[in-house]
Structure 1
Amino acid sequence: MAALLARDPARRVSLDDPAGVADLLAALRGRGAGEQIAALLARDPARQVALTKPHAVGHLLKELAECGADEAVAALLARDPAAQVDLDFTSYSGISDLMAALRKIGAKEALTALSRRIAEQPIGDPKNFAFLLSWLHYGRADPRAVSELVARDPAAQVDLEDADGLWFLLSKLKQMRERVALAIYNDRLRRKLVEHDHETFSRVMGEPNWFDHILEPLLPRDPATHVALDHALDVHNLLISLNELSEGGRKQDTREAVVRLADRAAARIALGQPDIGTLLHRMKELGADRAARVLGRRLADAGHVFGDRIEGVAGPEDAEHLRTYGRLPGVAPSPPWTWRDLADRP
């Protein structure tokens, strides 16, 4: 380390990457290299770093604050990172990390601005909408931003044809609702949250009904009837999410949605996909027996074999016969045959 410090990294390192600058500050601080820290800050990295990567910007803000560089923190915030960072719809952590950093350094205006920017994003894509909700939820954003986003009636706008996106949204709503329930009913966690942020706990964690404001109007739009059936795995995952909703108190409507989606998929989904056998198995597991029989027969007619999943084609009492003799196109199992029968055929 001494040899590295002797090369004067503070005066040589590039200032483009906020994560690189933050990492160097952390390393120098850990070594007590005050002169190098001063030299690095003298180059004014807060006015030069790129502000596109939210995790990197948050990391730099925290390190500047740890170094006591209040002027650098103010200079970076003056560049309005909340308006410049990319809203990366492939990662939860980046935006959430930035929000946590803004909260830690007391940058309430920047945190509010970022929260409002998130709440104003388009919400037609169900997966992107799930990201928006998650950023606000896990980032413990301004509660008003959550209310504004939910008040835009997202259930009426999300694309019902996107099976993967709908599954993703429903699964994330379930996770967030469970987290809220844990925060409310776990005394130890409640004390911890109240100690750190009473307003956020009381206004967001204490009122989980906003989940229902999204789900209640979404289900009557009947995603099971409109969702695209392009990919077996997406349908499989959506069936699971709908079934979990039926277990959570919306039993009749969501159970009917599970059956409708399974029936549609059984009759129309393209065969030959890698996950088609998994979908067949899931139908049986969820009690969609009619759909499982239809899909099983289609697969058998097309020559697909799933080993011990042959029960999806017919009842268990026929399974041994089907394993031995196969079946004819249509419904009926093949009559018993021997290899001699095949040899005698013209």
Structure 2
Amino acid sequence: MRRLLVEAAAVSAVDTVLSLGPARLEVHNAADAGAAVGESDRVPELTRYLLRAHDRRIRAVLGEVLAGGPSRLIVLTGESSTGKTRALYEALVDLAPSAPLLHPVGDLDLLELLDEGRVRSGCVVWLNEAQRFLYNRDAAARLRAVMTATPGIAVVGTLWNNPYWNELTEVSGGNSGHDQARALLTHPATTVRIDVPVYLNSNDLDAWRSLAGSSGDRRLQQALAAGVGDGKVVQHLSGGPELLAEYLAAGEGGSLFTAAEHALITAALDARRLGHHGPFPAALLATAADGDLAPRHRSPDPQWAEPALHALTTGVRADGSRTDIRNTLTALTAVYARSGAPAAYEPADYLDQHARRLRAERYGTPALWDALIEHTVSPDDQDRLAEAAWERGLRTTAVRLWSKATMVGHLTGGLLKLGEALDPDEFAATFTAARVDLRNPYVLRGLFQKRATRSQALATLMDRDPAAHADLTKPSAVAWLLRVLHAMNAEQAVATLVARDPATNAGLTDLSRVWELCEALEAVGAEQQALVLIERAVAHADLTGPDAVAWFLWHLREAGAERAIATLVDREPAVRCDVTDAYGAANLISRLHQTGALRQVAILAERAARHAELASWFRTMSLYSALCRVGAERDVEVLLERLGVHGGTDTAQIVTELWKTGAKEQAKVLAARAAANAELTDPRAVARALMALHVVGAAETLLDRDPAAHADLTDPEAVAALIWALRDTGDEQAFRALLGRDLAAHADLSRPDAVAWLLSALLKLNADETVTALLDRDPAAQVDLANPLAVTLLRVVLDKAGAEQAVSILERRAKDAGHLPESFAPYGREPDGSPSPPWTARTIMDPLG
């Protein structure tokens, strides 16, 4: 009986989406701007919910997982406050109200849940703000492994596109700390990415209006009214735009936040923007804020920050005055790692996202950097902050932060950037070699590449025997290490590594990486291990990725490994692989055909023709060509029919390719459909349709509708596309009419690449008056600096336009945003802006111990 009672108690203690509730799961509340004091307590916590297209997609995927299908990470991406978290909450309430819900508070908590075996079939793992978890490569790797091995696990999370999705999925060298997160997020077998729109479309606006009327909830009506100007209705529901406006006003003498409160918020926003991803300890914010306060605003109380932080997280000061928006949305949130632990703090995500753009060129005050050096404890945060400091010219600051991270074994190549001028006696390199974590097989990369001048550091590292410690589960990294050691003639180290049997221990998730290890083993004379690895791979490797399977087949065919090919084909990759990737499917169709696996070819051709994504013209036409080559005529027809119905974002290019290959009737159908569906207010859609029709000689059918008079002129890149489309179709009159609509006055100047495309088009077409009008709006001072490549593109085009002052302004802003680090070589500058005196790694690092 006692056992049963204990088990019953354990069951009842399991968290669910209903027991945790929206507040614990960080769902933004919606408050009533007109509510009287005390009335808000009687208002439902959440408004009624409007189902949109992304909600239906969430439910479809979630339903498959909850039914026992393969485990999936459903990650919603988009801007802040667009309803991502609410969408996940509502889907779970509908489909999994009683499912066990695991709610880790951070990456270490997630690792603990995984290691304890609590992430199992039938549970839901809640990863709101998923960057908190996935920047930890061990957490990302363990989560991916558990999901791959166990069906029925629903993992749900949210990420901003910029910076988090972009950073975590960026393809950089094997030394990237995000390789595990990228493998998790970009693999179609584990993750489904669903983008949540920033704006409501016209149908959604009508549905919102109807919902507001039928529910009588004035919060919905207020959000609709507030969103008339900027279209961000969902964002206004939580009060994000209002909070941002109050923060900006406070910096100009507004009244919602005191000077001390504003300084604390600014410290949190700048620290997060510069790379501190974890919650902030109070001491960090207090130190940074106090150093930036004017003397008249400083308090004699050494605990001055405590009441200010309490007011900013609860929304109310000791005197009863408010610091929040509509008694609901606060500028900071208190986070507790466990009960009784000191509070740490997070900025409101809407403030965070927009401050990244508005404060991009603020490179950080001396007080902020001092606080970050003193109070940042996470090596990952220290590494990111160091990189941000280096890029902004704060090089001695960067060295201090990198040193702290390296002292605990964190793998960073930062100290190896110093070069001969700043590290003449190899102090930094040897310091790194003596402390770096040897589990990562790439630890030799920086030192080996500079071995001619880093002999002492390299010797220090080799004395620690990296071959005996390297993590063998990463085949590509182990392959690299084997080749490096072999090239160094470190045969004893090679023997040590081979003796640890990497062929048996290597992970088999990515077959293209597995082959790298096969070749490396063969190159160092471990042919038998290479054969063992091949046998393991063909029998047990993940066959989800069609491109990786295709390349593995090609390598096997080149090696004449007929038995291995037969084993792999017998596992039916055509049935197992994900066919949404049209290019990968095309590659695998071709390789299977070369091996004579015609039944597999037929299966895969049918699946790909029906289910491949058709957004990219190159990938789509790769599949079309592959189907033609293998004689899959019926599947070609299916694909062409889908193209005629759905088209894609690259309609004009697909029409061109179809026309070239002789599918002229289908090209005409697709072009005609593009013309019929083109929304005249969308210049990009009109440009695509015009180019498609031009290929088949029927552009006049769309030009007769006078698209130049109807196009929305807000997006400069889209307008540039329309300009070129009108020119290429020979409609000089329409082109001139478009220029006559004062393009410069309407253009949104936030995106540097978009401005560059429009300016470039106008320059090439000698539209001098419009160029002058556009430059008069000073785009160099207004563009968002988040994308370095886009900023560089605009700089090049402004230079071609002879806009020297604009180039100077943009270069200054780019330098302070960290986009021109080479301009600070070699010694950099101090946080106060003064040039740093000459220094070496030893002079900076020796005092740190």
Conservation of the 8 A alpha-carbon contact between 1:46 and 1:73: yes
Give the structure-1-normalised TM-score. Answer: 0.62
In the alignment, which of 478, 486, 492 is matched to residue 71 of structure 1? 492
1:108 aligned onto 2:527: yes
Q: Which residue of 2 aligns with 1:133?
A: 553
Q: CA deviation at 1:26?
A: 6.1
How far apart, in 2, do the equivalents of 1:321 and 1:235 lie?
A: 24
Equivalents in 1 of 2:601, 2:567: separation in Å? 21
Structure 2 residue runs of 5 or longer lacking an equivalent are 1-419, 680-685, 707-849
Find the aligned partners of 2:560 and 2:498 in 1 and give their Cα distance: 18
Task: Look up the SS of the partner of 2:678 in the other structure.
Answer: coil
Q: Choose the corresponding residue for 2:565, options 138, 146, 150.
A: 146
Answer yes or no: is the 8 Å Cα contact 1:133–1:146 preserved in 2: yes
Spell out, residue by residue over 1:302-322, the C-alpha distance to the aligned partner (whole angstroms, 9 max, x if none).
23532243257xx64x65465
Partner of 2:671: 296
Q: For 1:63, give the aligned amino acid.
A: V
1:259 maps to which residue? 637
SS in 2 for 1:130: helix
Q: Give the structure with the larger strand fraction.
A: 2
Give 1:296 deviation, angstroms: 3.2
Per-residue Cα deviation, 1:27-55 (whole angstroms, up to 9, x for no partner):
44x4694x876654442322212223333
The alpha carbon displacement at 1:164 in A equals: 1.8
- In structure 2, do the counterparts of structure 1 residues 23 and 77 end up closer, same or farther at CA, with 3 Å as the change threshold? farther
Separation in 2, partners of 1:296, 1:229: 22
TM-fit CA distance, 1:104: 1.4
Does structure 2 retain, via aligned residues, the 8 Å contact 1:62–1:101?
A: yes
Residues 63/124 of structure 1: CA separation in 2 closer, same or farther (3 Å cut): closer
Q: Note if contact 2:465-2:493 (Cα within 8 Å) is conserved in structure 1.
A: yes
Letter matched to residue 259 of structure 1: E
Paired letter, 1:54: P
The answer as to 2:440 corresponding to 1:17 is yes
Matched, 1:61 2:482: yes
User: What SS does the corresponding residue of 1:15 show, helix, strand or coil?
Assistant: coil
The C-alpha deviation readout for 1:120-157, integer Å capped at 9, x for no partner, is: 2243553442254356467x5855433422344444x2
Answering whether residue 426 of structure 2 is matched by residue 4 of structure 1, we say: yes
Report the CA distance shift for 1:298/1:285 in structure 2 as closer, same or farther (over 3 A).
same
Code of the residue aligned with 2:644 in structure 1: it is: A
One of 256, 280, 285 as aligned partner of 2:655: 280
User: Which residue type is aligned with residue 260 of structure 1?
Assistant: V
Distance 1:32 1:226 in 2: 52
**1:247-273 deviations in Å (ceiling 9; x for gaps):** x5x4xx334532332023313x2x6x5
CA deviation string 1:156-212 (max 9, x = no partner): x245x72425x32433665x7xxxxxxxxxxxxxxxxxxxxxxxxxxxxxxxx9724
Conservation of the 8 A alpha-carbon contact between 1:239 and 1:261: no
Over the matched positions of the two proteins, sequence identity in percent amounts to 25
Q: Letter of the aligned partner of 1:164 in structure 2?
A: D
Other-structure match for 1:123: 543
After superposition, residues 92-241 of structure 1 pair within 5 angstroms as 92=512, 94-120=513-539, 121-123=541-543, 125-133=545-553, 136=556, 140=559, 144-155=563-574, 157-159=575-577, 162-165=579-582, 167-171=583-587, 211-214=594-597, 216-221=598-603, 223-224=605-606, 227-228=609-610, 231-233=613-615, 237-241=619-623
Q: 1:142 to 1:25 in 2, by over 3 A?
A: farther
- Following superposition, the deviation at residue 233 of structure 1 comes to 2.8
Alignment of 1:22-41 (within 5 A): 23-24=446-447, 27-28=450-451, 30=452, 33=455, 40-41=461-462
Deviation at 1:101, TM superposition (A): 1.9
Change in 2 beyond 3 A, CA 1:52/1:296: same
Q: Classify 1:59/1:240 alpha carbon distance in 2 versus 1 (closer, same or farther; 3 Å).
A: closer
Structure 1 pair 80–311 and aligned structure 2 pair: CA distance change class (3 A): same
In structure 2, C-alpha distance between the alignment counterparts of 1:295 and 1:6, rounded to whole Å: 61
Deviations, residues 78-107 of structure 1 (Å, cap 9, x unaligned): 322223334464x94x44432232111101
- Match 1:323 to one of 668, 693, 703: 703
Distance 1:240 1:61, change over 3 A: closer
**SS of the residue aligned with 2:543?**
coil
Amino acid at match of 2:534: S
Secondary structure of residue in 2 paired with 1:213: coil
Gaps of 5+ in 1: 177-208, 327-346
Q: Which is helix-richer, 1 or 2?
A: 1
Change in CA separation of 1:19 and 1:240 when aligned onto 2, cut-off 3 Å = closer
CA distance in 1, matches of 2:705, 2:462: 79
In the alignment, the residues of structure 1 paired with residue 428 and residue 604 of structure 2 have an alpha-carbon distance, to the nearest angstrom, of 67
* Alpha-carbon spacing, 1:26–1:128, altered in 2? closer, same or farther (3 Å): closer
Q: Distance in 2 between matches of 1:274 and 1:231?
A: 11
Query: 1:106 and 1:310, CA in 2 relative to 1: closer, same or farther beyond 3 A?
Result: same
Q: Which amino acid aligns with 1:21?
A: L
The answer for the alignment partner of 1:199 in structure 2 is none
CA distance in 2, matches of 1:158, 1:66: 39
> 1:49 matched to which residue of 2?
470
- TM-score for both structures, normalised by structure 2: 0.28
Q: Using the alignment, how far apart are the partners of 1:281 and 1:324 within structure 2? A: 22
Q: Please state whether the residue corresponding to 2:525 is helix, strand or coil.
A: coil
Distance 1:307 1:279 in 2: 13
* Separation in structure 2 between the aligned mates of residue 320 and residue 53 of structure 1, nearest angstrom: 57
Correspondence 1:309 to 2:692: yes
For 1:211, give the aligned amino acid.
Q
